[in-house]
Amino acid sequence: MLALIVFLPLIAFIAILLGAPARKTAIYSAGANLVLGIYAAVMRDCSCLDFSVQVLSKPEINLAFSTDGMSMVLVLLSVIVTLAAVLSGKAPAGRETLYYGSSLLISAGALGAFATTDLFFFYAFHELALIPTFLMIGILGRGERKAIAWKITIYLGLGSIILLVGLVWLANLAGTMHIPSMVENLSGENALDSGTQKSIAALLIVGFGTLVSLFPFHSWAAPAYASAPAPVAMLHAGVLKKFGLYGLLRIAVPMVPEGMQVWLTPVLVLLLANILWVGYVTVSQRRLDLLGNSSVMHMGYIFLAIAALVAFPENTLAKPAAILLMFAHGISIALLFGLADSIERKTGTLDLEELGGLAKAAPKLAFLFGIAGMASIGLPGLANFAGEVLVFLSAFQGYDPTQGLGSVQIACIISIWGVVISAVYMLRAYRNIFQGPAIPRTESAEDLTFMDRIPAVLLTVVLFAVGLYPNLLLNLLR
């Protein structure tokens, strides 16, 4: 079942290569995958979902899929965003195969990485998803696409290699590649000595951190998302980027807890830089490309939850909070990128100074973008708020006020200022694009068509559903 979910996009990709109509195949397979994903979420405790085939006997590598609550949520996120991405993409003429094929490959890679229980495939699926990302930016990107494609390739390649060193080291010490067994082998009495933990944790933080654009490894993100075609930006920012956070939660925190604790303070400083530094950089941007940096900024909050979990291992809130926020952020940033693409198609620019009064000509676009923006700045009723509030609460869980503020609490308090910063840039963007008098450029812009609205409405409904009743998602994590 899970294997089907992972391989369906791959099968569709091959079908497209063999000449099936690209857009239709992509949409149908993504739609089927959404249905399968929801079915799997409903049946989440059934062992019928699991799948395992031995690929290599020594070292033992299994193509194995299984989920727990955490990966199930991310699988759901992937199938939802994939459908929205292939629906909202508009391939340039003659490039349909590359365009939709790449989107499907990214989806398959992300799904595989989230669903597998084998360290080898965990890494391999992620790399599989990166290649089409590079290709799409390099071939179909906007602006200086070649240079940007190189930049992201080198950045993410380097991050992946550092990560690989850490993972191979861990796998060697654990003597297996089955992730749950690795956790078992490396805990309790068999826990690694602190020196090793420290080194491995450093490798994992830098490796995973680069993939999630942790400060100061963040400068690939903004230009890459600005250049990438809409479905790639949606899939990468919405889904694939969560791989790094997922890896930290799945591998780094349970396997090298002491090592993570050593790096707690540096990570706290870096995540604050993510929120404040990158946040202020976003404020000074004058194009809607600021969405890329806004996504970098919000990663800081998820890191905060991870830090809370590291600092206080009995923390029950941090992990669900992180997952919830990952899900919410994925949906909202995908919606924002999709709508930003619409804005550019309708008006021909993303420069905030050249836009204005678009709400007059395109009220539906304004409405949906307003919801997406409000979600991204953490308005209650939309999914991100629940995630953010739980993250803040998790930072204060188990905190004894008589001891003075700990580093996590201080970081939490400072990071709440980010809520103000994100409101500043998002409202400014909304004000400049949609409000004010209509100008010639926006007067004649078309509103979203019915087909344009389907993916946006899909994502909006998810944002509302989870935002109005977060237990919908949190129940999966039980």
Partner 1 sequence: MNSAWILLFLPLVVAAANQLVLRKHSLVPYLSTASAAASLVISILLLGKEGNAGFDWASIGDFSLRIGIQLDGLSTGMMLVVTGIGTLVHVFSLAYMKDDEACSRYFTGLSLFMFSMTGIVLADNFIMTFIFWELVGVSSYLLIGHWYQKPSAGDAAKKAFLCNRVGDFGFMVGILLLWSLTGSLAFEDMREGMIRFQDANPALFTGLLSTAVLCIFCGAVGKSAQLPLHVWLPDAMEGPTPVSALIHAATMVAAGVYMLFRLQVSLGAELFEGLFASHVIAWIGATTSLAAALMATQQSDIKKILAYSTLSQLGYMVMAVGLVHGEAGMFHLFTHAWFKALLFLGSGAIIYACHHEQDIWKMGGLLKKMPITAITFLIGTAALIAVPFTSGFFSKELILHAAKESNMTLFIIAAAVAVLTPFYMTRLVVIALLGKSRSDHSDHAKEVGPLMWVPLALLAVLAVIAGWLSGIAPAQPAHAGEFHLNALFFISLGALLIGSSVAFILYRGKDRDPVCIALLRELFYVDRFYDNFLVPVFQNTVAAILHFFDELIINGLLVGGLSRGAASIGQVCRAIQSGKLQYYAFAVGLGVILVVYFTVFY
Residues that bind partner 1 (CB under 8 A): 151, 154-155, 216, 218-219, 277-278, 280-285, 316-317, 320-321, 357, 359-360, 374, 378-381, 385-386, 389-390, 392-393, 395-397, 399-402, 409, 412-413, 416-417, 419-420, 423-424, 427-428, 431, 434-438, 469-471, 474, 477
Q: Which is nearer to partner 1, 350 or 371 (CB)?
A: 371
Give φ, ψ of 219 to 5 degrees: -75, 0
Q: For residues 95 and 360, which CB has a smaller minimum distance to partner 1 in the complex?
A: 360
Q: Nearest distance from residue 434's CB to partner 1, in Å?
A: 7
Q: Which is nearer to partner 1, 142 or 360 (CB)?
A: 360
Closest CA to 85 of 124, 34, 152: 34
Cβ at position 176, least distance to partner 1 in Å: 30
CB neighbours of 245 closer than 8 A, spacing ≥ 6?
A: 208, 212, 299, 302, 303, 306, 322, 326
Strands (E), 142-278: none
The span from the CA of 57 to the CA of 60, in Å, is 4
Tokens found for residue 132: 């089409």
Q: Of 33 and 422, which CB lies nearer to partner 1 in the complex structure?
A: 422
CB 81 within 8 A of CB 456: no
Q: How many residues does the chain have?
A: 478
Residue 280 one-letter amino acid: Y
Residues 370, 222: Cα–Cα separation, whole Å: 21
Min dist. Cβ of residue 165 to partner 1 (A): 18
Rounded Cα distance, 393 and 413, in Å: 11
Token pair, residue 66, equals 């299984």
CA-based nearest residue to 76, from 472, 388, 377 = 472
Q: What SS3 class is residue 298?
A: helix
Residue at token pair 């080291």: 169
Task: Specify the residue, 216 or 348, whose C-beta has the smaller distance to partner 1.
Answer: 216
What's the token pair of residue 188? 């309790």
Q: Which residues are CB-neighbours of 406 under 8 A, at least 6 positions away?
A: 311, 399
Q: Whole-number minimum distance, CB 216 to partner 1, in Å? A: 5
Give whichever of 11 and 423 is closer to partner 1, judged by the CB atom.
Answer: 423
Residue 90 or 360: the one with the smaller Cβ distance to partner 1 is 360
Angle at 367 between CA 363 and CA 368, to 5 degrees: 120
What span, in angstroms and rounded, lies between the C-alpha atoms of 197 and 251? 12
Is 111 or 368 the residue whose CB approaches partner 1 more closely?
Answer: 368
**Shortest CB 167 distance to partner 1, Å:** 23
Q: How far is the CB of 99 from partner 1 (least distance, A)?
A: 29
Minimal distance, residue 302 CB to partner 1, in Å: 16
What is the chain's Cα-based Rg?
Answer: 21
Shortest distance, position 345 Cβ to partner 1, whole Å: 23
Nearest CB to partner 1, comparing residues 38 and 405 = 405
Nearest approach in angstroms of CB 317 to partner 1 is 6
Beta bridge partners, 178, equal 118
Q: Choose among 378, 382, 341, 367: nearest CA to 435.
A: 367
Compare residues 195 and 216 and give the one whose CB is closer to partner 1.
216
Q: How far is the CB of 114 from partner 1 (least distance, A)?
A: 21
Distance of CA 93 to the CA centre of its chain: 29
